[in-house]
Structure 1
Amino acid sequence: MSQTFEFYDTRAREAAVEAEAATLDNVKERSLRAEKTWRGLANQARKVKADRERHESERLAARQLAESASQ
């Protein structure tokens, strides 16, 4: 199951809200660690999406170039 940037970003925001509301240090630290992890996953998902789009664009351009060269 592929998760999106939006999914991970939402989880990061929720963890940040939990950290802000926490009164116990260990709960706050746990929420901050969770936020950091979710942010990392969100950034990775965004990069993967951008890489896929770039590769698809390059593949399409190569196909069009090959088709125009064969005509």
Structure 2
Amino acid sequence: MTDLAVTYRGYAERAQAEADAATLENVRERNQRAAQAWMQMAERQERTDRGRAVRENAAAAARADLRPEPQTS
């Protein structure tokens, strides 16, 4: 998990806690929507990071395949 995803999940937890503590329905709903949005951002960030790692690994493997073989004398 990335630092951003962890940060987003922290924001989601805080928003959910505020929703749980809210006495006004509109405040509770607003904070629940915020918590849901933060969780979606965390999930999207994790997907992005996984995709980036796959691409970087594939690029590294391709570069390794292009390196010349060591010559033996």
**Alignment TM class, shorter chain as reference:** 0.7 to 0.9
SS of aligned partner of 1:40: helix
- TM value normalised by structure 2: 0.84
Gaps of 5+ in 2: none
Task: Give the number of equivalent residue pairs.
Answer: 67
RMSD: 1.2
- TM value normalised by structure 1: 0.86
Gaps of 5+ in 1: none
Match of 2:63 in 1: 63
Quote the sequence identity (%). Answer: 33
Structure 1 segments (4+ residues) deviating >3 Å: none
Structure whose residues are more often helix by fraction: 1
1:2-34 CA distance string (max 9 Å, x none): x71011111001011011111110010000000
Q: Which has the larger radius of gyration?
A: 2
